[in-house]
Structure 1
Amino acid sequence: MATTTDEAIESREIDPVTLQVIGGELDTIAQEMGHKLIRSSYSSIIRESEDIGSGILTADGKQIAEGDFTPMHVGTLIASVKGMYETIEERGQEPEEVIQEGDVFIHNHPHYGATHSPDIAVMLPVFYEGDHIAWTATNAHHLDIGAATPGLAVDLEDVYAEGTLFKATKVYDGGDRVDAVWQLLEDNTRTPRTVLGDLQAQISSCHVGKRRYLELIEEYGLDEVQQASEDLMNYGESLMRSEIEDIPDGTYHEVGYLDDDGRNRDQQLKVDVKVTVEGSDLYVDLSDSADEVLTGYNIPFHGSTEPAVYFIIRTILMDTYTHEEYIPQNSGTFEPVHVEAREGSLFNPQPPRSAMARINQVDFMADLILKALSEPIPEKVSAGSGPHCYFISYSGTDENDEYWVYIEVNESAYGGRPDKDGLDAVDALVHNTKNRPVEDIELSHPLRLEHYRLREDGHGAGEYRGGHGHEREVTFLTESTITIEGDGNKYGSWGLEGGQGAPSGELKHIKSDGEVIELPSKVSGYKFEAGDRFSIKSINGGGYGDPLDRPPEKVHEDYVNGLITAKTAAEDYGVVIEDEKIDEQATAELRKKQ
C-alpha cells in the first residue's frame, strides 16, 4: 500500500479525471441506496431519524464507498462481512460455495461484527459473468427484535436475551424466498409489519446498488472499476497518513467515567484512552478501561469500537468540509488507524456477554479522543461535546392489544470550535441521526409533547460558546413503558483554551399528582401511568476560548434569543445588559475587573 500522497498519485493505474469520475459514481450509488431505504421504510427510526448505513464492498469485504448517513452503521459493514465469512467457515463450509447469485443474507450478531443486535445488516452478493465481484449492503436499526423489553434493552443477562439473532442467514437463497426465516422473524418481534417492511426496504436498496454498480461496470469495464477502487483506497490511505504525520509523535492520554452499567448504580465505569502517534500511524488503546459488565452495557469490538475510532479520527483529520481536495470515503482511510482493547474489557466483551446498549460508551470514548488530541492539535478539535445521548424506546398496547413501539434519539450538542460556536441540539460525535417531528409523534402514538426546545441553563461559555442541548417534556396519554439507553447524568462537557464546561444531563418522572422522581440515565421496562410526564435535558457543549474575548454583540444576540439571561451575560462574559441593550461603559468596566 502507498504510504504518501505523492506515492499514491504516482502509482495509480488510471488517469486522475477518470478516477474521480468513477469515485463520484461509486459515492452516488452508495448515497442513492440510502435514500431508497429511507423513502421505502416503515419505521420513524429509519424514515425520519435516518439511523442507517449503505455501502459497496469488495468481495472480500473492503469498503469501496459509503453513504453519508449514520457513521456507526457504515464502518460496521466491513466487520459484518468478515463476521459472516467467519460464521460460514465455522460451519465447515467454504464461503464461495455457499454464496451464490440471487442470495440475500441478514446478519446482526454482536460477537460476529454487528454494531449491536437491533441493527440488522442486509448483504447482497454482486456477480458479473459468473464471478462474485462485490457486495452491496445496508444496515438499519430495527424497531424491535423481541428482546427482554420492547425496542431497547439494557439490563440483560447475556447475548441470548437480546432477541432474535442472525448469523449469515439467507432470506433469499438463489433468488427464492426462504419463508421459514421470514416466519421466524415475524413470530419473534412485537412489531412484525414494521420490521418486515423495513427489512424488505433494505433488500430493495441493495438491489438498486447492485443494478447501478453493474451499469458502471458495463460503462467502464470490470478491470477499470476494480482498479479505480484500489487506487481510491490507496489514495484515501495516503491522505490519512499525511494528516497523521503532521501530529507530533507521542502518547496522549485521557480518562473519564461513565455513569453505571444499568444495574449497579454506585459503580462508575472507567474509560481509558491512550492515543499514540508514530510517524504516519495512529494507535488508540482502550485496554485499561473497565472490565466487561454483566448487563447489556458492553461494546462489540469489531462492530462498534473500531468503527467509532475510525470515524472520529477521520472526522478530526479529514473533514470533507475543510478540505478542497476530493476525499474518498473507503477502507483506505482506516488503514493507518489501529485500535486495541483488552479481551474481556468494556470495549471488547467476550461471549456470551450482551452488547446491546453501546452508543453512549463510544460517544464518550470519542469525546476523550478529542480531549487527548487537544494537546497536540488544539486547532483541529472542538471543546467537549455532549458525549452522550438519551436513546429511548416508548411502548404500550393499543385498543386491539397490539404493541406500538417508538424509538427516539435525544440529541446533545457540539462544543465550541476554534472559529465557530458549537452546533445546537444535534447528535454529536459518532452518530448522525435526526429527530422526529412533534406532529408525527403525536399523530402516531399516545404521547403529547408539552415542549421541545433548546436547553437554556448550564451554558458552555467561551469566545466560541458551546452548543445548547435540548429540553423535552412528554405527557403519556395511556399507561406506557420506556427503556432508556443513556448516560451523562453524572458528568458534563469540558471547556478548551479557557472555555467553560457545561453541567450534566437530567431525567425526571413527574407524576400526575406532582411528585417528581429523579431517574438514572438507564432504566429497563420503567412504567408510566396515563397523565404522568417525562422530562429530558441533554448536555450542552463546552466553550472554546476565554469568554471575555467573545464580542459583546454575540453575547447580546444569545440573550435576545433566550439562550442566556442578563445575569449569565454579566457573570460569564462581563457583558452588562440593561433595558434589553448593552451598556458599553459598564461592560468595559466589568471586563477590566474579571
Structure 2
Amino acid sequence: MTRDSQEETSSASAAAAVADRDIDPVTMQVIGGELDTIAQEMGYKLIRSSYSSIIRESEDMGAGIFTTDCRELCESDSTPMHVGSLIGYLQGMYDTFEERGVSREDAIQEGDVFIHNHPHYGASHSPDIAVAVPIFYEGEHIAWAANTAHHLDIGSATPGLAIDLEDMYAEGSLFRSTKVYDGGERVDEIWNFIEDNVRTPREVIGDLQAQISSCHVGEERYLALVDKYGLERIQQAGEALMDYAEALLRAEIEQIPDGTYYAEDYLDDDGRNRGQRLKIAAEVTVEGSDITVDMSESADQTPTGYNIPFHGSTDVCIYFTIRSILMDTAVRDDYLPQNSGTFAPVHPKARPGCMFNPTPPTSAFARINQVDKMSDLIIEALADVLPDRVCAGTCGQVYFVSYGGTDDRGEYWVYLEVNEGSYGGRPEADGLDAVDALVHNTKNRPVEDIELSHPMRVERYHLREDGHGAGRHRGGHGIVRESRFLTDAVMTMEGDGNTYRPHGLFGGEEGTHGDLKHITADGETVDLNSKESGYKFGAEDRVLIKTASGGGYGDPHDRPAEQVYEDYLDGLVSAEAARESYGVVIEDGEMDEAATATLRGD
C-alpha cells in the first residue's frame, strides 16, 4: 500500500469512528481548531511573560486544556515532554486528594490555583512545576487549564540541576496539589516559602506568575468557546476529536506487521558509580491496532537522581515517539488533532523498581538523557518494519547543564543551558545539524543574551567538524561550545553519551560520541564525565562541550561523490574520511573523479 493510500485508509477509519457522534465533522474540526488556538495562545503568553531564559528563549514548557477526568483536549506546540505529562500531574493531584481524605468537590473551588511537581505523583520531574486552574461554568467544574515549565531552581542540593542525590527529599521543594490561590485569595505563606527556599526567587516567582497568567488566558478562551457553542456541544466535540485522533493512530498501527521488536544500548553511568554502564532496552509489541512499549529489561533504579518517573516522563516519551513516527504532521495533509486519543492505542510498561519506574523515596530528578535514548531505541526497534519513517541514531543524549554562582552584587545567578545535538540520516535527507533531538525539542539561547545576563563569555560556538555517521544520507553534526567564566562558578552536568555512538542504519556508519572538558586558566585540559555534580570552576576557566553527531542512513558509497565533496568544502568531512568512508578521492583540495570511480568500483 502506498503512503497516500495509507493516509486515505486512516482518514476513512477516523471519519467512521465519529460518525455516530451527535456532531457534524465540519463543526468538530472548527472547534478543534479553536481549541488548538487556545493552547497556542497559552504557550505564547507564558513564553512572552516569563523571566528565565529556559522558558523565554528555550521554551522548555507546555500548555493545554484538559477534561475533569484528566484527558488532554489540546496542546501547545512546544517541548513534547511538557504536555502529555500534564495528564499525570492532574491524576497525581487527584491521588493526593484521595490519600488526604478530601473529596474533589471540597478540594477544588472556583478561583483556586494549584501547583504540583512531585515525581512520584505524576510530575515529569520536580524542576517542572505545573500550574493548574480549574475552569468553572455556572458553578460546575468543567475542565482544567494547565501548564508546566522548567524552573531555574527549586532549592535542590546543587544549583539548578541535581544528579547525585540520596533520595527525593534532596531534590528541593516538592509540592503536591498545593494551592497558591484559594478561592481567588493569594496564599501568602506558600509564596513566602517558595521565595525563601530557592536560589533565584525573582525568576522563580516571576515564572510562576507567568504560568498563572497563561492558565487564566486558557480559562477565559475556553469559557468564551462554551458561550459561543454551548457546553454540551463543546463536550461532544471534545469526545469526537479524541475518538477521531485515536482512530487515526489505530489505522496507522494496523499497517505494521504484528510482532515484537527490540533494541538495546547502554548509558554511561548513574553519576556516582563510574564505569558501571546502565542497560536500556525497548521491547515494542504490535498486536492489531495496539502497540506496547515495555522498558522492563532496562537496568534497576539507580541510587542517585538518575531515574525516570513512569507517569509524566516514561509514558509521555513513549506516547510522543509513537505518534511522531506514525502521525508526522509535517508530511500529512489531513487534520491531526493532538489530544488524548493519540495515547489510547499506546501502552507503556516498565516493571516497578527499574530506572523507568522507580519506587519512592528514590530520587528521579535527572531524566532527559534516558528518555531521549529510549525514543532513539524505539525508532531503532521499528526500523526494519518502517524503514521509510525512521532515521538512523540521533544524538540520543543531551548535555543539559546548570551553571551558578554569585555576581558582583552578591546575588545568586543560575543559568540552564541545553546544548544541541543532531539527528541521524533519514530515508530522503541528511540528518539535521545542531538541533535538540527527539523528545526535548528546546531552543537555542542567543549568545548575546547569555553574556548580557551572566558572568560568562562564549568563546566559540559552531558545528562540530570532526566527523559524522557516513551514509547515503549522512548523520547531522552536533555542536562545539566553549564558554569562559568571569567569576568562580559551579556546574552540574546532566549528560550522557561519552561512551557510545549513535547507531547507523542499513549500511550507514555510527556517529561520533560526546565529549566534555575543563580547560583551566593556565591551559591545562581535564577530561570530565558526562555527569558532574557541583563541579567547581575558577575565574577565567573554560568548559568545552562537544555534542554527538548522528549516525548514517544507507551505504556511504551510494552517496553522490559531489555531495561528499561539498561536505568537504564545508569542513564537514576530511579528505581522509571522504576516501575511507565514502570512497571519494580528494587531492590538493580537488576531487579526483577518475580515482573516485576506480576506488568505488564504478
TM-score band by shorter chain is over 0.9
1:502 deviation in Å?
1.1
Residues of 2 paired with 1:89 and 1:48: CA distance? Answer: 38
The answer for unaligned runs of 5 or more in structure 1 is none
Alignment equivalent of 1:158, drawn from 154, 159, 167: 167
Amino acid of the structure 2 residue aligned with 1:122: V
Whether 1:8 and 2:8 are equivalent positions in the alignment is: no
| More moved, 502-511 vs 167-176 | 502-511
Partner of 1:204: 213
Partner of 1:386: 395
Partner of 2:254: 245
Alignment equivalent of 2:443, drawn from 434, 441, 445: 434
Residues of 2 paired with 1:428 and 1:531: CA distance? Answer: 31
Amino acid of the structure 2 residue aligned with 1:511: T
Whether 1:132 and 2:144 are equivalent positions in the alignment is: no
Whether 1:171 and 2:180 are equivalent positions in the alignment is: yes
Amino acid of the structure 1 residue aligned with 2:237: A
Q: Secondary structure at the match of 1:46?
A: helix
Residues of 1 paired with 2:135 and 2:261: CA distance? Answer: 43
Whether 1:99 and 2:117 are equivalent positions in the alignment is: no
Amino acid of the structure 2 residue aligned with 1:438: V
Partner of 1:514: 523
Alignment equivalent of 1:329, drawn from 319, 338, 343: 338
Partner of 2:509: 500
Q: Deviations over 1:209-257 (max 9, x none)?
A: 1111111111111111111110000011001101110000000011111
Whether 1:468 and 2:462 are equivalent positions in the alignment is: no
Which residues in structure 2 correspond to 1:565-584 (within 5 Å)?
565-584=574-593
Residues of 2 paired with 1:352 and 1:380: CA distance? Answer: 40
TM-score (norm 1): 0.98
Q: Secondary structure at the match of 1:20?
A: helix
Whether 1:355 and 2:364 are equivalent positions in the alignment is: yes
Q: Percent identity?
A: 67
1:14 deviation in Å?
1.4
Q: Secondary structure at the match of 1:339?
A: strand
Residues of 2 paired with 1:471 and 1:430: CA distance? Answer: 21
Which residues in structure 2 correspond to 1:185-196 (within 5 Å)?
185-196=194-205
Alignment equivalent of 1:402, drawn from 411, 425, 444: 411
Q: How many positions carry a matched residue from both structures?
A: 592
Partner of 1:261: 270
The answer for unaligned runs of 5 or more in structure 2 is 1-10
Amino acid of the structure 1 residue aligned with 2:154: I
8 Å contact from structure 1 (residues 29, 213) kept in 2: yes
1:3 deviation in Å?
12
Whether 1:218 and 2:231 are equivalent positions in the alignment is: no
Alignment equivalent of 1:143, drawn from 152, 161, 165: 152
8 Å contact from structure 1 (residues 234, 332) kept in 2: yes
Amino acid of the structure 2 residue aligned with 1:34: G
Q: Deviations over 1:499-539 (max 9, x none)?
A: 11112100011112222111000010000011111110111
1:559 deviation in Å?
1.6
**CA separation of 1:3/1:252 partners in 2, compared to 1, >3 Å: closer, same or farther?**
farther
Residues of 2 paired with 1:582 and 1:283: CA distance? Answer: 49
Partner of 2:8: none
Amino acid of the structure 1 residue aligned with 2:364: A
8 Å contact from structure 1 (residues 154, 524) kept in 2: yes
Partner of 2:4: none
Q: Deviations over 1:529-569 (max 9, x none)?
A: 11111110111011111111111222122122221122222
| More moved, 101-110 vs 15-24 | 15-24
Residues of 2 paired with 1:487 and 1:4: CA distance? Answer: 42
Q: Secondary structure at the match of 1:110?
A: coil
Q: Deviations over 1:178-226 (max 9, x none)?
A: 0000000000000000000000000000001111111111111111111
Amino acid of the structure 1 residue aligned with 2:478: G
Whether 1:25 and 2:29 are equivalent positions in the alignment is: no
**CA separation of 1:260/1:583 partners in 2, compared to 1, >3 Å: closer, same or farther?**
same
Which residues in structure 2 correspond to 1:278-427 (within 5 Å)?
278-427=287-436
> CA RMSD, aligned part only?
1.2
Q: Deviations over 1:314-333 (max 9, x none)?
A: 00011111111100000000
Amino acid of the structure 1 residue aligned with 2:523: G
Q: Secondary structure at the match of 1:378?
A: coil
8 Å contact from structure 2 (residues 113, 134) kept in 1: yes
Q: Secondary structure at the match of 1:434?
A: coil
Q: Secondary structure at the match of 1:21?
A: helix
8 Å contact from structure 1 (residues 509, 518) kept in 2: yes
8 Å contact from structure 1 (residues 3, 237) kept in 2: no
Residues of 2 paired with 1:568 and 1:503: CA distance? Answer: 13
Amino acid of the structure 2 residue aligned with 1:246: Q
Residues of 1 paired with 2:83 and 2:570: CA distance? Answer: 37
| More moved, 550-559 vs 299-308 | 550-559
8 Å contact from structure 1 (residues 252, 375) kept in 2: no
Residues of 2 paired with 1:578 and 1:290: CA distance? Answer: 49
Partner of 1:548: 557
8 Å contact from structure 1 (residues 62, 331) kept in 2: yes
1:6 deviation in Å?
4.8
Residues of 1 paired with 2:15 and 2:201: CA distance? Answer: 53
Alignment equivalent of 2:546, drawn from 514, 537, 549: 537
TM-score (norm 2): 0.97
Residues of 1 paired with 2:228 and 2:587: CA distance? Answer: 68
Amino acid of the structure 1 residue aligned with 2:138: E
Whether 1:37 and 2:46 are equivalent positions in the alignment is: yes
Q: Deviations over 1:16-59 (max 9, x none)?
A: 21111110100010001000000000000000000000010001
Q: Deviations over 1:272-315 (max 9, x none)?
A: 21100000000011111111111000000001000000001100
Residues of 2 paired with 1:524 and 1:584: CA distance? Answer: 52
1:11 deviation in Å?
2.3
8 Å contact from structure 2 (residues 85, 124) kept in 1: yes
Q: Secondary structure at the match of 2:480?
A: strand
Q: Deviations over 1:336-380 (max 9, x none)?
A: 000111111100001000000000001111111111001211111
8 Å contact from structure 1 (residues 3, 241) kept in 2: no
Q: Secondary structure at the match of 1:483?
A: strand
Which residues in structure 2 correspond to 1:111-122 (within 5 Å)?
111-122=120-131
Amino acid of the structure 1 residue aligned with 2:62: G
8 Å contact from structure 2 (residues 369, 398) kept in 1: yes
Q: Secondary structure at the match of 2:132?
A: strand
Residues of 2 paired with 1:266 and 1:373: CA distance? Answer: 30
Partner of 1:589: 598
Q: Secondary structure at the match of 1:380?
A: coil
Amino acid of the structure 2 residue aligned with 1:539: A
1:582 deviation in Å?
2.9
Q: Secondary structure at the match of 1:112?
A: coil
Amino acid of the structure 2 residue aligned with 1:388: Q
Amino acid of the structure 2 residue aligned with 1:456: E
8 Å contact from structure 1 (residues 118, 145) kept in 2: yes
Partner of 2:3: none
8 Å contact from structure 2 (residues 467, 573) kept in 1: no
1:579 deviation in Å?
4.7
Alignment equivalent of 1:57, drawn from 66, 69, 76: 66
Q: Deviations over 1:414-442 (max 9, x none)?
A: 01110011110111111110011111111
